[in-house]
Amino acid sequence: MAARKKAAGRKTRSKKNPASKKGTKKAANKKPRVAVLMGSKNDWESMRAAVDVLEGMGVGCDARVISAHRTPDRHHAYVTGAEAKGIELFICGAGFAAHLAGVTAAITPLPVLGVPLDSSALDGLDALLATVQMPGGIPVATFGIGKSGAKNAGLFAAAMLAGSDPKVRKALDAYRKKQTAGVPDRPF
């Protein structure tokens, strides 16, 4: 099945520390403002899209493999300590019964952006519903399934930071301008 092949492919490309991958070193060197959490190292191929976007705009990220169900103590310690370390918002990506974003939102007042991942046989529909269907009272801003959702979560995080940070606003404007300029008039 397509989903399984995708998951197998993701496994071979993942490393223990996702932030050590090529292209994210700059982000790892900056004081992180955005925590990018993922339930498994196998989620990195999708979640790095959020880090790449933010890093490209000069926003430092802290990418972590933290699972709400496999590493609950690590999760609680990280989330409760994050604000004091300068984290302003969370992007959480998870697949299957994806509760990482919801549990994170439950224990921090910081904004939580959720990215459902297509790692299961249901191609992410399970994660989408689990992430988006938060009962009233604890919101998770939910994005599309997979890599494009992670990219949009990164862009949305940049837009949030841009409200009070002119440098990020400038970078976001430049990103949009470049994107627009890259659209050809004709398809051939």
Residue 96 in the binding site for ligand RP5 (CB under 6 A):
yes
Measured from the CB atom, is 95 or 114 closer to ligand RP5?
95
Tokens 């976001």 sit at which residue?
Answer: 172
Residue 24 in the binding site for ligand RP5 (CB under 6 A):
no
- The least distance separating ligand RP5 from the CB of residue 13, rounded to whole angstroms, comes to 12
Backbone Cα Rg of the chain: 16
Q: Residues 87, 35: contact at Cβ < 8 Å?
A: yes
Measured from the CB atom, is 67 or 104 closer to ligand RP5?
67
Give the interface segment with ligand RP5, choosing from 33-41, 56-64, 77-85, 145-153 (CB under 6 A): 33-41
Residue 95 sits at φ, ψ, to 5 deg, of: -115, -175
User: Which one-letter DSSP state was computed for residue 12?
Assistant: H
Distance CA 108, CA 87 (A): 11
Of 24, 40, 104, 131, the residue at the interface with ligand RP5 (CB under 6 A) is: 40
H or E element at residue 89: strand 89-95
- The least distance separating ligand RP5 from the CB of residue 110, rounded to whole angstroms, comes to 20
- Bin 124: left if φ > 0, else alpha if -120 < ψ < 50, else beta: left
Residue 104 in the binding site for ligand RP5 (CB under 6 A):
no
By beta-carbon distance, which residue lies closest to ligand RP5?
Answer: 39
Burial of 138 (0-12, 13-18, 19+ CB in 10 A): middle
- The least distance separating ligand RP5 from the CB of residue 122, rounded to whole angstroms, comes to 12
Binding site residues, ligand RP5, CB under 6 A: 38-40, 42-43, 67, 94-96, 117, 119
